[in-house]
Structure formats: structure tokens, C-alpha cells
Amino acid sequence: MLKLVKTMIIILLLIGMFYVIAFQVFDLKTIIMQKIYPIKYADFVEEYAKQYEIDPLLVYAIIKAESDFEPKAKSKSGAMGLMQLMENTAVEVAKQIQVEELQTQQIYNPQTNIELGTCYFSTLLKKYNQIGLALAAYNAGMGRVDQWLEQNIISQDASNLENIPYKETNMYVRKILNDYQIYQQLYNKQSVS
């Protein structure tokens, strides 16, 4: 019986040491979280986030939610690429930044998609002056967000985003705001490029 107690104590001590080494010394939690919330396409994200005055960590959160960093992603509704742009939106934004004759396949190009998506989100952020509202418009469209604001379903200060009537958009905004917070916690202490 004494031998069994000693063996259990040794096993518990080994587990405790493993925990201390893995989670305290090597910060395993952060390593795992950075695998789940990666920094990919940093050159493009950093360049266009700076150009369009958006926190690059917010762009990463949008890409994570939209495509999980899969450049060939295509939604059921036809949204394409890393930032899941609809073709008509991509063409419209391309014209704004003087990209002539954007071909459909170009929308899947990570650099092009990140530039167009970041530019578009920047436009929404300037229009609504609030991240939550801009995210709602990115997902549901400006017309719907304008309508919700007009009908006082949501407010301009975004203090009641939980009232977004479309469940998908409601969850989308919450997910990205949560992912953005996680990206800030993981990467604000270090350079992301």
C-alpha cells in the first residue's frame, strides 16, 4: 500500500512538473493559440492595413473568420478568396483604386484579395466610424445596416449590436470582435511582420 502511495505521489509530481515546464516555461498556451490564430500573408496585410489605416490585427481576424486563411475559399453565396469578396464588390473597389478590368480569378490572388478587402472594409469603417457596424455591413451589406440604424434596431454607437436581426450577421460580428481581441492579446506585445 505504501508503495502505491509513493508511486501516485511521483506520478502527480511528474504531471505537475510537466505542467510547469509546458505552460509556464515554454508558454505552451500561447504557442497553441498562435497556431489557432495565425499571422499569414503578413507582407500584404501589413502593407494594405497601413495604407488604408486599419489595425492589421483586425484584418487578420476578418480573414480568420471569412476563410481561415484559405486563398481558394468560395462561399455558397459566391464570395471569394481570403476576405470573401463578392465579385461585384471586388470589381467596384478595384475601379476605386484604379485596377482596370479585374478578372474573376484575380480575386483569389492573396495580394489582390487583401488589398480589395482591406480597402472595402476601410470604406465601411469611415462610413460608420465603428468597428461593429462596419463588420455588420461587411457581412450583410450597407443597405441593411443603414435600414437597421434608421429603424433604431441598432444604434450609431453600436452599444446594442446584440439586436442585429440577422442571426448570421449577429454571430459574425461577435466572432470577429472576439477573434480581434484574441489577436490583440497574442500579438500586441510583438511585431506581427
Active site residues: 66
Instruction: For Cα atoms 87, 93, 98, give the angle at the middle one, nearest 5 degrees.
Output: 120
How far is 100 from 104, CA to CA, in rounded Å?
A: 12
SS3 label, residue 192: coil
Grid cell in block for residue 136: 455588420
SS3 label, residue 55: coil
The answer to whether 62 and 82 have CB atoms below 8 angstroms apart is: no
DSSP 77-100: T--BTTTTB-HHHHHHHHHHTT--
